[in-house]
C-alpha cells in the first residue's frame, strides 16, 4: 500500500511539530510520497526528481523577496514535488499569504510546522518505510521493462512498446521530441482519451501526477517521456517504471530515428576544438552544428563521476540561458559550448556561472567556464583557459577558497592574473618574482606556521576591505589589524596608494601554486 502524505503527518516523528495544512488540502488527501528530503536552498527544484515531501526551515524564505517566494512554490510544483513543509518560528513567524495563495493555485500541498523537530530523525524514520515499499515497486518496474524489451525485440512499434508501459503503470504515456513533437503515445487497456484527460477542465496540470523522464540516445538528449498518472494509480510505481524504461526507449529511438545531423555535428565540433583542429575546419563544422562562425561563445569543462543526470541538468541550463549550445561527454569530462546573445554577453555568462553553481553544489562536480570567445576560431582558447583554470585551482585549492574541491564552479575571469603569469612566465621566473615580493612574509610563515600570505591575499582580493577580509578569515577585527601591521612591517609598509600594491597582489595570488618550489629555494 502506498504511503500517503496524511499518513506521514500522523507519524510519531512528525506530530510533535504540530503540522497543519495551509494550502491544497483537497490534494493532500490523495498525495503519495516517494521520499522525504530537507533543504534550505531555494534553487533546489531542478535537483529533485518529483514525489518528495520537502522539509525546510524559514531562514532562507524570510530573507527572500515575495517574488522569489512565490517562484519557489511554482518551481517545486512544476517539478512534481509532492508537498512542502515549512518550519515557522523566530525567523519566519508565519507562512506569507502570497505563498499560501500560490500553493493553492498550483495544487501543491503546503504544510506549516509550528514547532521544531529534528528533520534528520523524521527523514530516517519515514524514508526507511518508503524504502521497504519501493522494493515491490522496483520488481514490478523491472517486469514492465523486460516486457517492453520483448515487444521491441519482436519488432513492435513505439506505440506498442509504450502500451506495455501504460498497462503496467495505469498511466497515459507520451514520448515526444525535445521540441514537443509527439513520437508515440499509449493509454492503459480499457481507457480512452476522453474518459479521463491528463489536464483538468480548467486547463491546469496536476504536476504531482505527471512524471517526466529525459531519454538520451548516444549521450544526446533526444526525447522526453511523460506519464500522466490516472485515478488512484500508484504514482511511485509510474515514476520508477518510467526511469527503468529509458534504456529500452533509447534503443527504440536509435533504431527508428538516430541522433540528428545537427547534434552529431555539435559533438564533432567539440571534439575538433578539443584536439586542436585548424581554424578553417572549425569554421566548416560550426554551421552544421547551428553555430555561426562569428558567434560569441564560452567553453565549459565539467569534471564529475560521469552522471547522466549531470549532463541532462547542464544541457537544460544552457538551453534556457544561452542562445544555442552543444555538448560532448568523454568519460568523466563533459565539454560544452554555449553561444551567447550578442546584446547580453556578460549577462548570459554570469547566468551560466550561477546556474552551474546551483547544480554543482548538489551533484558534487567541479567545472570551469572559459572567457568569452569572439568567433568559433577562438573557441579552442576559451576551452584551454577553462582547463587551465581547473588545473590552477587544483594546485592552489587549499589556499584559494577551496576552489579545487568538488561542488565548485570556477570562473576563468577570476583567475586572470594567474593565467597571465602562467602563459608569460616560466616557473622559475614566477618563483623569483614571488620571493622578491613576499620573501620576508614567506619566511615568517614558514618559521611560525602562520598564515600571513593567505591573509594578505584575501585582504587584497577584497579590495583592501579589512572588515570583509576579517569575516572571510573568521577573525576579530583587532586580530585582523594586528596581522596587517605585521605584514606591513615585513613588506616595507602599507602598500595602499603605492605602485607596489599590484605586484604584491599578483605575488600573493601566485604563491599557493608555487609552495613546493618556494620551499626548495628557501
**Do residues 320 and 369 share a domain?**
yes
CB atoms within 10 A of CB 190: 7
> 128 in a domain, yes or no?
no
Q: Which pLDDT score, from 0 to 100, does residue 340 have?
A: 95
pLDDT digits over 365-388, tens only? 899 999 999 999 999 999 999 999
CATH number of residue 82's parent domain: 3.40.1390.20
Return d(Cα 429, Cα 483) in angstroms, integer: 28
Q: What's the gap between Cα 205 and its chain centre? A: 25
Domain span including residue 214: 133-256
Give the whole-angstrom CA distance, residue 326 versus residue 263. Answer: 7
Share of the chain above pLDDT 70, in %: 89
The residue from 389, 420, 451 where one domain ends is 420
The mean per-residue pLDDT over the stretch 354-368 comes to 86
C-alpha grid cell, residue 248: 529500452
Q: Which helix (H) or strand (E) holds 36?
A: strand 35-38
Label residue 399 by pLDDT band (50, 70, 90). very low
Out of 184-188, 324-328, 377-381, 417-421, pick the least confident. Answer: 417-421
Indicate whether 209 and 326 sit together in one domain.
no
Q: What is the CA radius of gyration of the chain?
A: 27
Q: Answer whether residue 122 is part of any domain.
A: no
> Do 219 and 265 lie in a common domain?
no
Closest CA to 366 of 347, 350, 387, 345: 387
* Same domain (yes/no): 265, 252: no
CB 229 within 8 A of CB 238: yes
23 and 95, same domain (yes or no)? yes
pLDDT in tens, 145-170: 999 999 988 888 889 999 999 999 98
Q: How many CB atoms lie within 10 A of CB 192?
A: 7
Q: Are residues 314 and 401 in the same domain?
A: yes
In a domain, residue 27? The reply is: yes
- The CA-atom distances, in angstroms, between 86 and each of 39, 63, 173, 217, 389 are 11, 14, 33, 40, 40
Domain final residue, candidates 394, 420, 446? 420
Q: For 96, which DSSP code?
A: -
Are residues 328 and 384 located together in one domain of the fold?
Answer: yes
Q: Do 266 and 413 sit in the same domain of this protein?
A: yes
Instruction: Give the Cα separation of 267 and 230 in Å (integer).
Output: 39
**3-state DSSP call for residue 192?**
coil
* H helical segments located in 294-344: 308-321
Q: Say if 95 falls within a structural domain.
A: yes
In the chain, the number of structural domains is 4
Are 412 and 354 part of one and the same domain? yes
> What angle is formed at CA 61 by the lines to CA 56 and CA 66, rounded to 5 degrees?
140
Kindly tell me the burial class for residue 243, based on how many C-beta atoms sit within 10 Å of its own C-beta (0-12, 13-18, 19 or more).
middle
Cα separation, 158 vs 186, in Å, equals 9
Listed residues 420, 451, 482: the one ending a domain? 420
| pLDDT value at 514 more than 70 | no
pTM for this prediction: 0.50
Amino acid at each position: 500500500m502506498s504511503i500517503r502524505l496524511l499518513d506521514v503527518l500522523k507519524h510519531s516523528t512528525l506530530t510533535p511539530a504540530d503540522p497543519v495544512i495551509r494550502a491544497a488540502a483537497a490534494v493532500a488527501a490523495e498525495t503519495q510520497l516517494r521520499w522525504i528530503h530537507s533543504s534550505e536552498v531555494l534553487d533546489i527544484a531542478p535537483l529533485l526528481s518529483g514525489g518528495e515531501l520537502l522539509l525546510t526551515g524559514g531562514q532562507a524564505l524570510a530573507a527572500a523577496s515575495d517574488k522569489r517566494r512565490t517562484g519557489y512554490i511554482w518551481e517545486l510544483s512544476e517539478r512534481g514535488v509532492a508537498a512542502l513543509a515549512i518550519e515557522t518560528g523566530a525567523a519566519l513567524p508565519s507562512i506569507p499569504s502570497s505563498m499560501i495563495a500560490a500553493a493553492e493555485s498550483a495544487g501543491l500541498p503546503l504544510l506549516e510546522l509550528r514547532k521544531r523537530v529534528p528533520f534528520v530523525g523524521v527523514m530516517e524514520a519515514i524514508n526507511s518505510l518508503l524504502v521497504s515499499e519501493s522494493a515491490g515497486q522496483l520488481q514490478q518496474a523491472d517486469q514492465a521493462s523486460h516486457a517492453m524489451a520483448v515487444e521491441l525485440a519482436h519488432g513492435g512499434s513505439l506505440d506498442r512498446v509504450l502500451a506495455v508501459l501504460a498497462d503496467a503503470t495505469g498511466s497515459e504515456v507520451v514520448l515526444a521530441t525535445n521540441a514537443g513533437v509527439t513520437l508515440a503515445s499509449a493509454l492503459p487497456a480499457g481507457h480512452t482519451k476522453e474518459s479521463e484527460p491528463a489536464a483538468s477542465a480548467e486547463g491546469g496540470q496536476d504536476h504531482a501526477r505527471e512524471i517526466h523522464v529525459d531519454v538520451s540516445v548516444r549521450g544526446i538528449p533526444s526525447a522526453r517521456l511523460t506519464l500522466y498518472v490516472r485515478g488512484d494509480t500508484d504514482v511511485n510505481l509510474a515514476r520508477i517504471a518510467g526511469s527503468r524504461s529509458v534504456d529500452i526507449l533509447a534503443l527504440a529511438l536509435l533504431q527508428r530515428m538516430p541522433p540528428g545531423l545537427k547534434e552529431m555535428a555539435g559533438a564533432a565540433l567539440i571534439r575538433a576544438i578539443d584536439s586542436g583542429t585548424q581554424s578553417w575546419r572549425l569554421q566548416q563544422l560550426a554551421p552544421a552544428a547551428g553555430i555561426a562562425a562569428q558567434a560569441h561563445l564560452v567553453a565549459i569543462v565539467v569534471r564529475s563521476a560521469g552522471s547522466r543526470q549531470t549532463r541532462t541538468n547542464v544541457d537544460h541550463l544552457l538551453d534556457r540561458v544561452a542562445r544555442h549550445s552543444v555538448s560532448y561527454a568523454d568519460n568523466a569530462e563533459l565539454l560544452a559550448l554555449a553561444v551567447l546573445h550578442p546584446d547580453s554577453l556578460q549577462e548570459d555568462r554570469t547566468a551560466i556561472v550561477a546556474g552551474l553553481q546551483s547544480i554543482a553544489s548538489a551533484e558534487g562536480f567541479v567545472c570551469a567556464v572559459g572567457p568569452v570567445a569572439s568567433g568559433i576560431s577562438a573557441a579552442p582558447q576559451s576551452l584551454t583557459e577553462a582547463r587551465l583554470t581547473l588545473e590552477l585551482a587544483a594546485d592552489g585549492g587549499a589556499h584559494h577558497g577551496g576552489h579545487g574541491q568538488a561542488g565548485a564552479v570556477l570562473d576563468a575571469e577570476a583567475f586572470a592574473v594567474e593565467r597571465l603569469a602562467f602563459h608569460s612566465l616560466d616557473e622559475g621566473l614566477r618563483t623569483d618574482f614571488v620571493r622578491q615580493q613576499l620573501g620576508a612574509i614567506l619566511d615568517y610563515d614558514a618559521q611560525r606556521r602562520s598564515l600571513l600570505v593567505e591573509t594578505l591575499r584575501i585582504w587584497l582580493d577584497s579590495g583592501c576591505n579589512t572588515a570583509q577580509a576579517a569575516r572571510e578569515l573568521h577573525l576579530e577585527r583587532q586580530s585582523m589589524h594586528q596581522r596587517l601591521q605585521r605584514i606591513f612591517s615585513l613588506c616595507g609598509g602599507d602598500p595602499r596608494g603605492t605602485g607596489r600594491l599590484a605586484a604584491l597582489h599578483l605575488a600573493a595570488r601566485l604563491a599557493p601554486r608555487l609552495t613546493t618550489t618556494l620551499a626548495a629555494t628557501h
